Each structure stands twice: as C-alpha cells, then as structure tokens.
Chains A and B, each alone.
Chain A
Amino acid sequence: MSSIPHDHVHGDGHAGHAPHPTGLMRWITTTNHKDIGTLYLLFSLFMFFVGGVLALTIRTELFHPGLQVVNPEFFNSLTTLHGLIMIFGAIMPAAVGFANWQIPMMIGAPDMAFARMNNWSFWLLPPAAIMLIGSFFVPGGAASGGWTLYPPLSVQGGMGFDLTIFAVHIMGASSIMGSINIITTILNMRAPGMTLMKMPMFVWTWLITAYLLIMVMPVLAGAVTMLLTDRHFGTTFFNAAGGGDPVLFQHVFWFFGHPEVYIMILPSFGIISEIIPAFARKPLFGYPSMVYAVASIAILSCLVWAHHMFTVGLPAAGLLFFMYVTMLIAVPTGVKVFNWLATMWRGSMTFETPMLFAVGFIFLFTIGGFTGLVVAIVPVDIQLQDTYYVVAHFHYVLVAGSLFAFFAGAYYWLPKWTGTMYDETLGKWHFWCAMITFNITFFPMHFLGLAGMPRRIPDYAQQFTDWNMVASIGAFGFGLSQLIFVWVVMKCIRGDGAKAPAKPWEGAHTLEWTLPSPAPYHSFETPPVVK
C-alpha cells in the first residue's frame, strides 16, 4: 500500500499541485483518500492485534478453572478494553479505510468531498487509542464495567473510565466527521450518469451506514457526557441515590449499540456483494431488493435496542414489541443471503481467496444470524442472557461477519492498492486456518452458554473445563493464523509477487478496475461518464 507512486497516470490535473511532502510528513499531512485509506487500514490492523492480545490473555486465564494469570479486576478490564478496542479501534476504522480507498474510485470522484477533514478524521484516532490503551497504566486501572459502560460501575470506577469516556468522544467525533464526508462525497460527487440505483452495492451500504452513524453516534456521545457529569459535576442522571435511573443509560446506550452492530456489518455486506458477482461471473441477483433490504435493516436496527435488556423488567407489551421487531430483521437479512446464493446459482464460479472468505462469511454469518433469532425470543433470552451463548452469537456475527468480509475485501482489492498480486497459496492457508480455528474457538461457546456458564468471569465451575480448553486452543490458533495475513500484505507492499493487471478479476465491473494497478495517486480528475 505504501508502494503507491506519486505519479499521475490517470487524469491530468497535477499541474496545479504543490510538491508532495515525503516521508513521515506525507502521512501526517496527506489529504489524499488513498493515503488516508491506507492509514485507516494499517491502524485498524495494529488495533486488531492489540485487541487480539487482550483476547488471548482472557483465553489463557480461562484455559483452566481457578485464577492463574490475572486477578479478577484486571480480567474485567481485559474484557472491557477488548470490546472497545475491537469495535472502535479495529472494525470501524477498517470499514472507513475501505470506504476511503474505494468509494471515490467506485463512483468516479477525484477524492473525498472534504479532504482536510478526512485527514483530521483519521488523526483523531491515534490519540484516542493511546488514551484507551494508556488507561491500563493509570491509578485504578482501565475501565472494567464492560464495553457497555453501564452505571453504577462506570460512575464509581477510577480514572480509567474518564480516559475511556474521552476516547469514546474523540472516536465518535472522528466517525461523525468521516460519515459527513462519505455522505457528501456520495451524494454530490458521483460521475455523470451514475444515478443512485447504478451505484455499486458497497457504496450503497456505506451511504446507509454513514446515515446510521450520524444518527446514533451523537446519542452515545451524549450518554457518556452525562456519565462524565455524573462522575465529576454532581448531576444524577444515572444515579438512583439522587433520583436518576441507571436503566436509562442502558436504553440510551443500546439505542446507539444495536445500530452499531449494523454499522459494523453493513459495509461487510457491501464488500460481499461486490465479490460474489465477480467470482460467480454473474450480475448481482436482485440489486434493487438488496438496496431496499439494506435500508430496511438500517431502519429496523433503530427499533430493536431493548432486546439487549429483556431482563431489566420491561412491560410485557415492550417485550413483545422488541421481540417481534427483532425477528422482523431476519426478513431483509434473509433477502440478502438468498440473493447472494442466487447470484452464485449456476454461475461460473472460481474459488480464489476473496471468494473463499465471502462464502465463509455467508456460512458463518448465517449461523450467527440464527443464534440471534434464538436469543430474540424473550423466554429463551431470559435463560441465556449474559451467558457464553451470547458471546458465541456476537462473535459469529462480528468476527465471522465483519472480519471475514474485510479479509475478503482486502484480498480482492490488494492488487489494485499495491499493484502486486497476493500469494494465492498463502491466502488459502490463511482462509482455512482462520475458518477452522474460528469454529474451534467459538462453536464450543454455544455449549458452554447453554450449560449456563456466565460471561465476564475469570473463574468457572469444573464442568465447563473441557470446552474452555478447546476454545482457548482454538483462540491461539486463530490469532496465529492472522500472521499469515500480515505476511501476505507485507509481500504485496514490497512488490514480492506477480504484477497485477488493471483488472485481475474477470467478473469485476466497477469503475476502480478501469484504473491501472496500482491505482494512481490522483484518479478520475476528469470524471468518467457512466452509461
């Protein structure tokens, strides 16, 4: 990715540009969407490994009952920071990285609408990450109330909570700025002839995701601001002793939190919707229905937040409403899965690494979706609430969902980004190792949850030992298998591989494939005309 040259192969607008800074200053001052996309992707990869190390520490502690490696307070910090880092530090920045790289190229725009704001959006993230990771070293340790930051723990905790709240503020501001940029770019800077219903699905999914972000991120920011004033300025929004309501925080948090799940998964849907037609060599089946399904999922995602709170004592009418609306999301999601399968049906398919990850995504995401339907049923959820079944469910959705789709997207677009074909053998090794070890890690958690093992505990009853051992072994395998991906990316960046043609995938038809590989530093300064 860093091998992108500063030449201007496509377009002709370089005459008016000042000389580019080089070295570190290039990356600090860059306003180029490709550079910023690269920064986002590298940042998210780094944070993925930080979050992964926390996860492996958790799994080491849980390898055996009893307390071996960490004390319970630190264990709570590990689970909290693992969630926060993976969501805000790894998955969301990765999705924005894909958006930065791909959206301008896919709609025929020269760059993002607000190039300087784009630079700011990224450079807000490292300070936030330092605050989050640095909170481990402050008195009282890192936040330990779970990534949901529920009061009263978050009101009573130490300085680590303040750092976490500030980090969430900063990352929220970054996300909102990024979303405004993405929506403006998509609405105002499309190439002539590219109507909304001609946009690639990846662009559509990001348009809808960005609207979701603008709607729910400020709500989270508001909630944690109130948390901050409860902690330091004498308010009692969430403090029952002063007339506040801790459950109010849960309502507000999940009004953000559930759409957040779709914020993480919708761009993945978009990536999969690009890859499957390319490797099935058929147009996407039911494009309009895919667009409407994504929009329906986004709207419904704002109406289901209380399914995370079935055990707080909601009225029966509320329980029924949230249960049925949650189940309703299965309809548009089913439309999408059906359309992906229909696209593959009788297609001339080949199974290069992006396609393997895409098929793996569909298989595992569908399992995660089904277990989501299970916990959507109120009486079942009351039994399974806060057990490892829920942990298994959301990891099938977010790891096998978001992460596998991002791997698929990375392999799919690496030739365009670096100008070098990735190593197919290593890519396939990566897929199979990740696929097998992922299931070894997370499938047994369904059994543990059904047997009643609670989540967020460092110690557990003896009867849960065997499956915990299996899960821990799988987790280390899953972590190690990601090193293959790093190796593949490093090889591509170094140019160690076959030179990539402009369009390495026969069935790919979006605009970025009309550019040479690697994509020139400035592209589409003269907009293409879409027919």
Chain B
Amino acid sequence: MATSPQRPSAQTDAQRRANVVTALTLASIALVFFFGFMVARYLGDGETGMTVLAIIAFIFLGLGIGRHLWQGRK
C-alpha cells in the first residue's frame, strides 16, 4: 500500500530551512542537558557541573544574540 506523505504543500524551502535550524538548536539544548549533567558528574562536584552548564548557557545566548544581530544587518 502506498504510504502517503499527506504533507501540506504550503511549506516553502525557506520555511523548511528555518524549521530545521530551529529544531537543531532545540535538540542541541536537549543534548547539552542530557550529556552535560553526566559529564559534569565525571568531571567533579556540583559546582563544576553548574559552571559547565552556565558557560554553555552563555554560549547559546551569545549565538542567539549574534544571529539576531547578523540577520538585522542583512
């Protein structure tokens, strides 16, 4: 039996690209929380873990703001 994608054709390529970028960003947050916690336990105590997570949070923030500013210039 043919499996229909049943996908609305309304999505443009640009929109699909934007969706993938958003999804990858969100997935990376999930991965950081999943592995970051376990790696932090191997690295040392709770303070090390908090520091690692805080640094990663700042990197996300920096990337987010940077991307926003870059798109604004274009």
Q: Residues of A with Cβ closer than 8 Å to B?
A: 11, 13, 16-21, 25, 29-32, 110-111, 113-116, 176, 179-181, 183-184, 187-189, 214-219, 221-223, 225-226, 237, 252, 522, 524-527
User: Given the known A-B contacts A13-B8, A13-B10, A25-B3, are A218 and B15 also in contact in the complex, defined by CB atoms under 8 Å?
Assistant: no
Interface string of B1-30 (1 = CB under 8 A from A): 111111111110001001100110011011
Number of CB contacts from chain A to chain B under 8 A: 103
Q: How large is the interface on B (under 10, 10 to 19, 20 to 34, 35 or more residues)?
A: 20 to 34
Complex Cα–Cα for A11 and B9 (A)? 11
Complex Cα–Cα for A217 and B3 (A)? 32
Contact B26 A180 (CB under 8 A): yes
Secondary structure call for the B interface: helix
Contact A219 B37 (CB under 8 A): yes
Contacts of A252 in B (CB 8 A): 37
Complex Cα–Cα for A181 and B22 (A)? 9
Complex Cα–Cα for A442 and B67 (A)? 51
Secondary structure call for the A interface: helix
Contacts of B6 in A (CB 8 A): 17-18, 20, 30-32, 115
User: Given the known A-B contacts A19-B4, A20-B4, A21-B2, are A180 and B9 also in contact in the complex, defined by CB atoms under 8 Å?
Assistant: no
Contact A218 B22 (CB under 8 A): no
Contact A18 B2 (CB under 8 A): yes
Contacts of B7 in A (CB 8 A): 17, 31, 111, 115
Complex Cα–Cα for A116 and B3 (A)? 12
Complex Cα–Cα for A16 and B4 (A)? 11
Contact B38 A226 (CB under 8 A): yes
Q: Residues of B with Cβ closer than 8 Å to A?
A: 1-11, 15, 18-19, 22-23, 26-27, 29-35, 37-38, 41
Complex Cα–Cα for A201 and B10 (A)? 25
Contacts of A188 in B (CB 8 A): 15, 18-19, 22
Cβ-closest chain B residue relative to A255? B37
Q: Tell me which of A110, A184, A225 contacts B8 (CB under 8 A).
A: A110
Contacts of B1 in A (CB 8 A): 21, 25
Complex Cα–Cα for A113 and B24 (A)? 13
What 5 pairs between A and B have smallest CB-CB spacing?
A110-B8, A218-B34, A218-B33, A18-B4, A113-B19
Expressed in whole angstroms, the minimum distance between the Cβ of A95 and any Cβ of chain B is: 18
Expressed in whole angstroms, the minimum distance between the Cβ of A103 and any Cβ of chain B is: 14
Contact B30 A176 (CB under 8 A): yes
User: Given the known A-B contacts A19-B2, A115-B7, A525-B8, are A189 and B29 also in contact in the complex, defined by CB atoms under 8 Å?
Assistant: no
